[in-house]
Amino acid sequence: MIKNILIPLDGSDHSKAALDYGLWMTEKFKGTLFGQHVIDTVSIEGTFYHDISGSLGFEPYLDFSTKMREVLEERGKSILEEFSERCKQRGVPYATFLDMGIIPNEICERSKVADLVVLGHRGINEEFSTGLLGGTAESVTRRCPRPVFISNRKFKEIERPLLAYDGSQRASSAMESAAEFCTQLKLPLTVLNVPKDEKMGEKVLQEARAYLSSYGIEARYEQARGYPEQKIVDYLVNFNYDLLFIGAYGHRRIIEMVLGSTTEYVLRKSPCPVFLNR
């Protein structure tokens, strides 16, 4: 059950859209919203200390400019004050955290007090374009101990979610989240399987039917042939789904560097938010 939602905020348009989604979900789930801003030690000290300390396995050297730190602290406080005002206006319970460190590390650490992390889409397209290295969003989705909701740039109330299900452990976790989400919000759910073998695909969809039947969700089950990542995006685009549930990263990182990743492709191409379970 989703009750505590964490929103990392940086003042960008993408994080503002993430806040819109966070507020909406917190109201629906009658939970608490945590606003977090991280003062990035890398931006203060520059890349040199980061590279050296990272190679040695510890945090960047913290003897940074006092003036720079003061400026960034003030900016962070301003962002969190704006967050607090939005929560007060909506009557949403909230708390704020002003943290300092390496941004993905601090988000993952703070996520331990949350059930869900809602993160803006900013940085994914630019960083993922190399096909090898990701930015903050990729780092968080790979390492975060909690599910991560990657929002797009414009808020839209969710009405038509899609679950990509292949029978794996990560996909089963995504199905559990989808079931709870749709039950709480009284939404229908479409389950999509893109199997290599049609017979195996039917078995996987039967597993999904058996699991979801106890939730009483209005569900549809679809099977498609082709490359999973392409078919998932095709469904999102062609049938106007507005949220995708998917298991995050099914291979080890070194394999994905060579072969690519369904999760990575979907994050780059999805026209709607993506709810990731590891």
Structural domain ending residue among the three candidates 151, 172, 201: 151
Nearest to 16 by CA among 79, 96, 59: 79
Is residue 258 assigned to a domain? yes
Domain span including residue 251: 161-277
DSSP state of 132: S
Is residue 130 assigned to a domain? yes
Share of the chain above pLDDT 70, in %: 83
What is the pTM (predicted TM-score) of this model? Answer: 0.85
Tens digits of per-residue pLDDT, 203-251?
999 999 999 999 999 999 999 999 999 999 999 999 999 999 999 865 4
Q: What is the token pair recorded at 89?
A: 């206006």
Structural domain ending residue among the three candidates 151, 176, 206: 151
pLDDT at residue 191 greater than cutoff 70 = yes
Q: What is the token pair recorded at 111?
A: 């996520």
pLDDT at residue 134 greater than cutoff 50 = no
Backbone angles phi, psi at 150, to 5 degrees: -95, 110
Is residue 156 assigned to a domain? no
